[in-house]
Amino acid sequence: MQVYRTPEARFNDLPDYRFAPRYLDVRAGPGATSESLRLHYVDEGPPDAAPILMLHGEPTWSFLYRKMIPIFAAAGHRAIAPDHIGFGRSDKPVERSAYSFEAHVDWVHGFVCELDLRGITLVGQDWGGPIGLAVLAREPDRFARVVAANTILHTADPEFEGRLNWANHGLGANEVCLAEGLLDWITFSQRSPVMEASWAVSGSTAKAVSPDVLAAYDAPFPEERAKAGMRQFPILIPITRNDAGSAINRATWESLSAFTKPFLTVFGDSDPATEGWQTIFQERIPGAATQPHAILPGAGHFLQEDAGEELARRIVAWMG
């Protein structure tokens, strides 16, 4: 298997990202590549404290959490932010077939088990939600609480009709309804000759992002060979009831239906892609009852960029 490893010089002098790099070898299960891959992660704060596990999505990396990590560490928590395989400083298989929803879950599951993380507070945004929650479904005893932040858990089942701003649900026996914005994103990722992470960030934040920060989001992906994971994530979104990802998410929903530990939703008010999901999480998960759920004003899809400090302070206060 060909693997691209971004040159370390690409990560020099990034704004507000001065965290020591750490690495761990992980593997995916049968059906994907079983080769060992190097996964990068940030690990700040007291090493014996219960961890806050921050999972990013598409097409970002742990840089997304740079505003939150110091706040968590200063509050006495262990702040852990990995880069998914294919992103950030982690290894990037060149062949897109190496990336599947299940493989991403396997990689993060292996990471959690290898570090033997327990008492985890999961913070999942975008793909970090379904991947992290699938790991929780496999290892529920390792998790103490969850923060769902601008994230999704698609199964394409008919009961989602009318519940989501970006529709993605079945119609009758063999039809589906998809929002044009969702389909545009999927087709763009496959057809565009050029795809940059910074385009998604600048187009999905409510506040202006400086050129040096946008360049930092592009740093891991200096050439097309580095972008296979980025290209693949959009077409892994389950858009039919028969999708393998729908089956993974149904199993996750089954586990979450019995999850009584605290489950908090914090969404931005300017994210059409995930609007409506916060209510579904609140209704379906027992641990979401009576929690101080919030909608952050002036925050887009990447609310860590628009309101990272506020999000971190809310989480610290909630945990306290």
Q: Are 318 and 294 in contact (CB under 8 A)?
A: no
Short-list 281, 285, 260, 251, CA closest to 134: 251
Short-list 36, 45, 124, CA closest to 80: 45
State the DSSP code for 84. P
Q: How far apart are CA 64 and CA 27, in angstroms?
A: 24
Q: Which of 43, 83, 106, 271 is catalytic?
A: 271
126 is catalytic: yes
Q: Which of 126, 154, 169, 306 is catalytic?
A: 126
- Beta-carbon contacts of 318 under 8 Å, excluding residues fewer than 6 positions away, are 147, 262, 264, 291, 292
48 is catalytic: no
Q: Are 254 and 138 in contact (CB under 8 A)?
A: no
**76's torsion region: left (phi>0), alpha (psi -120 to 50) or beta?**
left
Burial readout 174-187 (b: 16 or more C-beta within 10 A, e: otherwise): eeebbbeebeebbe
Which helix (DSSP H) or strand (DSSP E) does residue 43 occupy?
Answer: strand 37-44
Q: Which of 83, 104, 301, 306 is catalytic?
A: 301
State the DSSP code for 288. G
Q: Which residues are catalytic?
A: 126, 271, 301
